[in-house]
Amino acid sequence: MKSILVFSFSILFFCVLLSCDKRPSKHAKSDFISIFNGNNLDGWEGDSTYWRVENGNLVGEVTPETILKRNSFIIYKKQQPENFELKLEYRISALGNSGINYRSEMIEGMPFALRGYQCDIDGRNRFTGQNYEERKRTTLAYMGETVTIPQMPDSIPKHNIRKNVKRNCWQTRDVSATKLKSELVPNIKPNDWNTIHLKVKDNKMQHYVNGELFSEVTDLDEANRSTKGYIGVQVHVGPPMKVEYKAIQLKTSK
């Protein structure tokens, strides 16, 4: 009888331990979905002069024979997400210049061009992780900054917002925190794979590089902010360059 009681107690104790273990399984389903299959450009649209799939990676390359006159994007056409997280890995050449656009619109009469928010990427890491609004308000947050963008001043005409841009930076910005580049840049691996994680929720946009917050923008400028739009990645005007992307995953939310 004693051995039966001991055995029963052991079973009960083991069950209690299992019920208390709330750690998620390694095999728990993720809400992220892959939006690049590594085999072809299904769902993406770009200029084949500059974009291809190679060794499972999305490759953008500008050669001496294909120098750009304006920036060119490859655009994910299947969704225009509003609130989302985007994760990917990138590798860029030393003189490369690229970026990840989101909540962006296509521009009529300009194939493969986007207007909207961008997480900047460059091989010299002068701009990596900053929030730059392509073809609109320009720099919203430099590397290391936490910024609030207030309403656009009444003195600025809505049809000519460039009057509020100086030195390629939007002038109506409240910077609440700054982290030094010297603290952030060493986290980036040159000529190697790095991770980007974008967290975009309502009017807040956070850009993470290798797990470090590189910029944060809260956009209160109702006249100019975007709430949804396309995702795309860029090859930039300038010298020959190469950028590679892989493991591109998206998770949308309400």
Complete domains list, the chain, with CATH: 49-253 (2.60.120.560)
| Tens-digit pLDDT profile for residues 126-157 | 999 999 999 999 999 999 999 999 999 988 88
Question: Would you state the torsion angle of the CA atoms of residues 74, 78, 83, 88, taken in this order, to the nearest 10 degrees?
Answer: -50
User: Which one has a higher pLDDT value, 17 or 124?
Assistant: 124
pTM score:
0.88
- pLDDT confidence tier of residue 158, bands split at 50, 70 and 90: confident
Residues β-bridged to residue 252: 84
| Tens-digit pLDDT profile for residues 34-61 | 999 999 999 999 999 999 999 999 999 9
d(C-alpha 248, C-alpha 36), whole Å: 6
d(C-alpha 192, C-alpha 147), whole Å: 29
Q: Residue 29: its pLDDT value, please? A: 56
**Mean pLDDT, residues 23-37:** 72
Question: What is the DSSP secondary structure assignment for residue 119, as one 8-state letter?
Answer: E
Q: Residue 104: its pLDDT value, please? A: 98
State the residue for tokens 């794979």. 193
pLDDT, mean over the chain: 91
The alpha-helical segments, DSSP class H, found in 147-224 are: 181-184
d(C-alpha 145, C-alpha 123), whole Å: 20
| Tens-digit pLDDT profile for residues 204-228 | 999 999 999 999 999 999 999 999 9
**Mean pLDDT, residues 168-181:** 97
State the residue for tokens 């200029």. 47
The answer on pLDDT for 1 being more than 90 is no
CA atoms within 13 A on the CB side of 38: 9
Exposure string of 111-130, with b = 16+ CB inside 10 Å and e = fewer, is ebbbbbbbbbbbbebebbbb
**Mean pLDDT, residues 17-30:** 47
- pLDDT confidence tier of residue 159, bands split at 50, 70 and 90: confident
Contact 236, 99 (CB under 8 A): yes
The pair of structure tokens assigned to 133 is: 């609004």
- pLDDT confidence tier of residue 5, bands split at 50, 70 and 90: very low
Q: Residue 26: its pLDDT value, please? A: 47
d(C-alpha 99, C-alpha 107), whole Å: 17
E-only strand ranges, 183-235: 194-201, 204-209, 212-219, 230-235
| Tens-digit pLDDT profile for residues 74-104 | 999 999 999 999 999 999 999 999 999 999 9
